[in-house]
Amino acid sequence: MVVLLCTGVLGLYLTFTLKSFFITQIEQHLFSEANLLLSYLPDLSENPSLDKFARSLKHQVEARITILNSEGKVLGDSDQIPSSMENHLFRLEIQEALQKGKGTAIRFSSTLHQNLIYVALPIKKSSRALETSGTSEAPKLMGFLQLALPLTELEHNLQEIQNKIILGSLMAMLLAVILGISLARSLESKILSIIAFTQRIAHGELEERMKVTSQDELGTLIQNLNQMAEKLGEELKVVFEEKKEKETILASLTDGVLVVDRHGKIILSNPVMEKLFGPDTSKLLEVLQSQTIQNLIEEVQEKKSKVSDEIQILSPRKIDLAVEAVPIKGEEESPEGTILVFRDVTRIKRLEQMRVDFVANVSHELRTPLTAIKGFVETLLDGAIDDKDHAVRFLKIVASHSDRLSRLLDDLLTLSNIELGKIKIERSVVPVEQVVQSVLLMLQQKALDKGIQLTFEASKDLPPVLADRDRLIQILVNLVDNGIKYTEKGGRVSIEARVREDQPHLMEIAIKDTGIGIPESALPRLGERFYRVDKARSRAEGGTGLGLAIVKHLVEVHEGSMRIESQVGKGTTVRLMLPIAT
């Protein structure tokens, strides 16, 4: 098929190329004859009928001759009566000659019933005649000389060439098939021998070897298979020696490993099992007899392959475990027991849930303002823009949601830069009192508008901290702003700073409020991206859900720590531990 395709493409290319070449040669010949005829052509104005001239020169030129006036009317033709012929002015070769000085065309002749190639040249009044008349005007167009030649012989020759190409293609294909079958049978014989040899190796007949009969790729393959069989026999001996070593390695694995026989009796366990289930073996037996583990063991016995599942235990502590069960195969390939591997995936589960929550929260946070912006813009486009009062209100809402999107993206970028280490922390000696006073001044009006009292208490001779002043202000503004948001009118938000007595190298800055508080179950998740305890209220306050996450990361970058204490209905305290400047 490849040979046939190649010869077919080559045949088409050669046919097209030869046809183009021959047509070009014919055109050049006809133009040469036409230019020669122009020198013998009598004056058209004095010879209204030029049939005799055309017919007398036809056999010398070996082409059909047609003479037209400037309006396309036939004045003389070597093959037809001029009066019976239609006007030729708008034919392709005449128009091309009129515009470019010469024209060509190939078309089917309705009078001769075959394809012809046409060339045309304009007939102009000679410059000598113009000089004789005493004028200096450009030569005047008198008519057109058209020559035509049938393409029957050319098409016949091209058809013969195509037939020969087709015949050659079929012969080449036949030869390729014969050679291909011969080569395929030779390869098939060698490959079948290799297959039989590898099957014997698969059944353990490692002493047998194949004879190398050639130095080609298959010969190299046979030689490699012989070497492989030899090495395989040597390595199998090593495998049995390593078996005991692998049993010892099981005891040093970080995952819990439990080996049971076909009756479910414990044969072996490693020390990690005790960490997972506690020293009391009754808990281990309880898990082993659970329906999930029993199903795993039964499935392993049936499938004779590894299976896995997940379980959760509540005692001695709540943990999620991924359990993999692997069969222990005996000499007769029947499972003699089961190896159970217990892996603690509690942290992974929590991280997966955080990732899912993060994606969902980002989508939700972006969808809400985008939906609002789109809705109000569509309302404006539907005609509300003509209502000035409503248009201004809608645009303010769109601007508000745009600001919310901007804050969200800024917070995400800030958090990402902190985690990637792109935000440089320029730590210096920073007086805590000055920073706190700046924060209170920034948020004083917001607190007054809500009727909340802001206070600051600090121990005497408070030392400075080693921190980035701007980042420390950002941390405190975020925490105090949260306190104002979630504290009702008449409440109080205070900042207290003191040196830790038990850790004199640390400064404790506590931000306390008398707000709504946070449930104890939610405290471990504070600091996660987009996590909100009261989602509706947080969004109403314009928060992005990233503030505490940014604060947490900034504090960690300062080599400090953050702890949150809260009681529902009584308030929340955020304690920051920052290093003191020495």
List residues bridging with 341 in a β-sheet: 257, 324
Residue 375 lies in a domain: yes
- Residues present in the chain in total: 582
Domain-terminating residue out of 387, 420, 453: 420
What CATH number is given to the structural domain containing 290?
A: 3.30.450.20
> Has residue 371 got a pLDDT over 80?
no
Identify which of 93, 221, 109, 183 has the alpha carbon closest to the alpha carbon of residue 146.
93
Q: How far apart are CA 499 and CA 196, in angstroms?
A: 83
- pLDDT tens profile 319-349: 888 888 888 876 666 667 888 888 888 888 7
Residue 178 lies in a domain: no
Give the residue carrying structure tokens 């709504």: 516
Element (H, E) at 15: helix 2-40
Q: What is the number of other CB atoms lying within 10 angstroms of the CB of residue 207?
A: 10
Q: How far apart are CA 270 and CA 181, in angstroms?
A: 63
Q: What is the pLDDT of residue 127?
A: 40
Percentage of the chain exceeding pLDDT 70: 84
Counting the structural domains of the chain, the total is 4
Tokens of 92: 């392709």
* Sheet of strand 74-77, all strands in order from the earlier edge strand to the far edge: 74-77, 64-69, 141-150, 114-124, 103-109
Task: Please name the residues in contact with 39: beta carbons below 8 A apart, sequence gap of 6 or more.
Answer: none
Q: What is the pLDDT of residue 23?
A: 84
Tokens of 581: 């400047």
- Tell whether 356 and 338 lie within a shared domain: no
- pLDDT tens profile 442-497: 889 989 989 999 999 988 888 999 998 888 888 898 889 888 988 988 899 999 99
- Tell whether 481 and 518 lie within a shared domain: yes
Rg for the chain (alpha carbons), in Å?
A: 49
- pLDDT tens profile 261-314: 877 788 877 778 777 777 776 777 777 777 888 888 888 888 888 888 888 877
More confident residue, 492 or 129: 492
- Tell whether 361 and 436 lie within a shared domain: no
Q: Determine the 3-state secondary structure of 343 from DSSP.
A: strand
Q: Determine the 3-state secondary structure of 31 from DSSP.
A: helix
Contact status, residue 52 vs residue 138, Cβ threshold 8 Å? no
Q: What is the pLDDT of residue 364?
A: 61
Identify which of 71, 108, 67 has the alpha carbon closest to the alpha carbon of residue 90.
71
- pLDDT tens profile 427-440: 899 999 999 999 99
Helical H segments across 203-260, by residue range? 217-250
Name the residue type at position 452: I
Contact status, residue 345 vs residue 322, Cβ threshold 8 Å? yes
Q: How far apart are CA 402 and CA 40, in angstroms?
A: 88
What CATH number is given to the structural domain containing 388?
A: 1.10.287.130
Q: What is the number of other CB atoms lying within 10 angstroms of the CB of residue 468?
A: 19
Q: What is the pLDDT of residue 201?
A: 79
Domain range for 552 is 428-579
Q: What is the number of other CB atoms lying within 10 angstroms of the CB of residue 495?
A: 23
Q: What is the pLDDT of residue 131?
A: 46
3-class DSSP string for 458-495:
ECCCCCCEEECHHHHHHHHHHHHHHHHHCCCCCCEEEE
Give the residue carrying structure tokens 């009584």: 570
E strand spans, 441-504? 453-458, 465-467, 492-499
Tokens of 276: 């997972």
Residue 523 lies in a domain: yes
- Tell whether 388 and 491 lie within a shared domain: no
Tokens of 429: 């000696």
Identify which of 26, 143, 150, 29 has the alpha carbon closest to the alpha carbon of residue 76.
143
Contact status, residue 454 vs residue 533, Cβ threshold 8 Å? no
- 154-170 average pLDDT score: 79
Residue 256 lies in a domain: yes
Give the residue carrying structure tokens 């502590």: 317
Residue 213 lies in a domain: no
- 247-267 average pLDDT score: 78
* Eight-class DSSP state of 139: P
> Using 50, 70 and 90 to split pLDDT, how confident is the model at 354?
low
DSSP for 225-240 reads: HHHHHHHHHHHHHHHH
- Tell whether 496 and 516 lie within a shared domain: yes
Residue 266 lies in a domain: yes
Tokens of 115: 């394809």
Tokens of 84: 């019976």
Domain-terminating residue out of 111, 134, 157: 157
* Eight-class DSSP state of 32: H
What CATH number is given to the structural domain containing 567?
A: 3.30.565.10
- Tell whether 15 and 54 lie within a shared domain: yes
Q: What is the pLDDT of residue 408?
A: 66
- Tell whether 415 and 451 lie within a shared domain: no
Tokens of 187: 């390869």
Residue 245 lies in a domain: no
Residue 166 lies in a domain: no
- Tell whether 401 and 486 lie within a shared domain: no
Q: How far apart are CA 526 and CA 548, in angstroms?
A: 7
- Tell whether 271 and 411 lie within a shared domain: no
- Report if pTM > 0.85: no
> Has residue 165 got a pLDDT over 50?
yes
- Tell whether 78 and 23 lie within a shared domain: yes
Q: How far apart are CA 270 and CA 34, in angstroms?
A: 106
> Using 50, 70 and 90 to split pLDDT, how confident is the model at 391?
confident
Domain-terminating residue out of 157, 176, 206: 157
For the chain, give percent helix, strand, coil, nearest 5. 55, 20, 25
Q: What is the pLDDT of residue 130?
A: 45
Range 427-457 burial, b when 16+ CB lie within 10 A, else e: beebebeebbeebbeebeeebeeeebebeee
- 17-27 average pLDDT score: 84
Percentage of the chain exceeding pLDDT 90: 7
- Tell whether 436 and 359 lie within a shared domain: no
Q: Determine the 3-state secondary structure of 211 from DSSP.
A: coil
- Tell whether 356 and 337 lie within a shared domain: no
Rounded to 10 degrees, the C-alpha dihedral 209/212/213/219 comes to 130
